[in-house]
């Protein structure tokens, strides 16, 4: 079934590429903004992203490619941002037109460093987007498996049930199932936190800890996530649902997880800088760790895993010693 509302996706990475693929299952045309004119030109000529998920081919006649963020915004009714949180504000600084009448969805797994806010709150506070026009697209879902058309599940969060259901309809297909929730704040913080816990899982693996320890680590991580999110935004939520526990597990265990890979390199002795240079991809959990730690300095919740990862990444503490200490806090 073809759907007519206009949508623009913002970002040139693997998650943005996967979202464009999902949308093209249903849409007559999809807008796609990316900063790199070279990549946009390559897609226009060859029908695939040369840097991310290059196996995915697009019908270029159904793509509206933009190199100017304002043109992409003007074109669409619905805006889906999939730009890594560390670079989001740099792109938003280019906006010269109002977002007031747009529906804005975040598919970003992190917090905006410049404001310390989750993406939805950032758009509300700084760009006057009403909360009822804001939504979140979260997992558990890896872009690589979307590319392979393996069955995947998305959770769409919004204060407006109608808006969430519409976005779910745009994205669902034979290989994508969608569900909805009104827990925008909880799902955004969970998406941020699971990257930190995936980093912890990667560090543990790099240090030589086995599956038995990983199971205990993930069990403690979901309880820590519950405490953290409850302190930040008290609401009725089932932490065992896919948007929370499911997303944590796939990010903590999958070979496709950039955060687990990054953590694994740290556990094996890489410095933060050398791991970033070798990966050539953004591990959102690195930036999320500092923000979560700083938030918790104020909230004073019990978060031994976050604290451990912070000391390793930002205080240059020895991962082996820090994880030995962590084992005494886990049960």
Q: Which residues are catalytic?
A: 194
Contacts of 233 (CB under 8 A, 6+ apart): 185, 186, 189
Rounded to whole angstroms, how far apart are CA atoms 76 and 10?
11
Rounded to whole angstroms, how far apart are CA atoms 57 and 206?
35
Contacts of 225 (CB under 8 A, 6+ apart): 190, 193, 194, 197, 239, 244, 248
The radius of gyration of the chain from alpha carbons, rounded to an integer in Å, stands at 19
Polymer length of the chain:
331
Which of 283, 143, 113, 293 shows the shortest CA–CA distance to 203?
Answer: 283
Six-digit token string for 59: 């019908």
Q: Cα 15–132–146 angle (5° rounding)? A: 20
Rounded to whole angstroms, how far apart are CA atoms 178 and 18?
15
Contacts of 60 (CB under 8 A, 6+ apart): 43, 44, 47
Residue 93 has a CB neighbour count (10 Å cut-off) of 10
Residue 266 has a CB neighbour count (10 Å cut-off) of 23
Contacts of 61 (CB under 8 A, 6+ apart): none
């Amino acid at each position: 079934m073809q759907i007519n509302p206009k949508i623009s996706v913002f970002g040139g990475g693997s998650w943005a590429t996967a979202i464009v693929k999902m949308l093209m299952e249903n849409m007559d045309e999809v807008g796609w903004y990316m900063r790199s004119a070279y990549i946009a030109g390559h897609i226009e000529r060859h029908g695939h992203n040369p840097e991310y998920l290059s196996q995915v081919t697009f019908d270029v006649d159904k793509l509206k490619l933009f190199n100017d963020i304002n043109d992409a915004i003007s074109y669409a009714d619905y805006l889906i941002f999939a730009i890594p949180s560390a670079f989001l504000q740099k792109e938003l600084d280019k906006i010269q037109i109002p977002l007031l009448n747009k529906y804005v969805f975040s598919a970003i797994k992190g917090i905006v460093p410049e404001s310390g806010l989750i993406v939805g709150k950032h758009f509300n506070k700084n760009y006057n987007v009403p909360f009822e026009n804001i939504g979140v697209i979260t997992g558990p879902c890896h872009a690589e498996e979307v590319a392979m058309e393996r069955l995947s599940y998305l959770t769409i969060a919004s204060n407006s049930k109608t808006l969430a259901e519409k976005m779910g309809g745009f994205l669902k297909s034979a290989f994508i199932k969608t569900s909805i929730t009104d827990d925008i704040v909880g799902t955004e913080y969970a998406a941020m936190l699971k990257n930190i816990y995936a980093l912890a899982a990667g560090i543990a693996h790099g240090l030589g800890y086995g599956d038995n320890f990983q199971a205990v680590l993930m069990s403690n991580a979901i309880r820590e996530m519950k405490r953290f999110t409850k302190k930040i935004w008290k609401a009725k939520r089932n932490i065992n649902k896919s948007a929370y526990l499911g997303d944590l597990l796939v990010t903590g265990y999958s070979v496709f997880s950039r955060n687990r890979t990054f953590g694994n390199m740290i556990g094996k002795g890489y410095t933060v800088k050398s791991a970033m240079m070798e990966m050539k991809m953004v591990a959102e959990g690195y930036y999320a760790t500092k923000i979560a730690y700083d938030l918790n300095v104020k909230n004073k919740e019990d978060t031994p895993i976050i604290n451990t990862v912070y000391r390793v990444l930002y205080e240059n503490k020895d991962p082996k010693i820090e994880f030995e200490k962590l084992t005494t806090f886990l049960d």
